[in-house]
Amino acid sequence: SPRGMGGGDIKLAALVGLYLGWCGWGALVVGAFAAFLFGGVFSIVLLLLRRARRTSAIPFGPWMLAGAWFGIALGEPLGRWYVGLFGIR
């Protein structure tokens, strides 16, 4: 919704966050970041194609699930790679 996330998104975010947290910090951080990245890119594409306006309601739930899958699949390796950039083990 233009005013913010709906109730279903909040409940889904809680469940996804609990599961990704159980999978590990890497999965949680990468999954959350990926959800916002995927949803943001999709929204920008819709705006550029004039299929949506800034006030349009765009569902976020599918992007949370896509981010969760991405976090589960690549969270730990990406987390280790990122931390390794700073010389931290």
pTM of the model: 0.85
Q: Are 31 and 20 in contact (CB under 8 A)?
A: yes
Whole-angstrom distance, CA of residue 29 vs CA of residue 66? 14
Q: Are 71 and 30 in contact (CB under 8 A)?
A: yes
Those residues whose C-beta lies under 8 Å from the C-beta of residue 36, and which sit 6 or more positions away, are: 63, 67
> Within a domain: residue 54?
yes
Count of the separate structural domains present in the chain: 1
> Within a domain: residue 30?
yes
Domain of 50, in residue numbers: 7-85
> Within a domain: residue 2?
no
Q: Are 23 and 71 in contact (CB under 8 A)?
A: yes
pLDDT tens string, the chain, 89 residues long: the values are 557 788 889 999 999 999 999 999 999 999 999 999 999 999 999 999 999 998 888 899 999 999 999 999 999 999 889 888 888 76
- Residue 58 confidence (pLDDT): 87
- Residue 1 confidence (pLDDT): 52
- Residue 7 confidence (pLDDT): 87
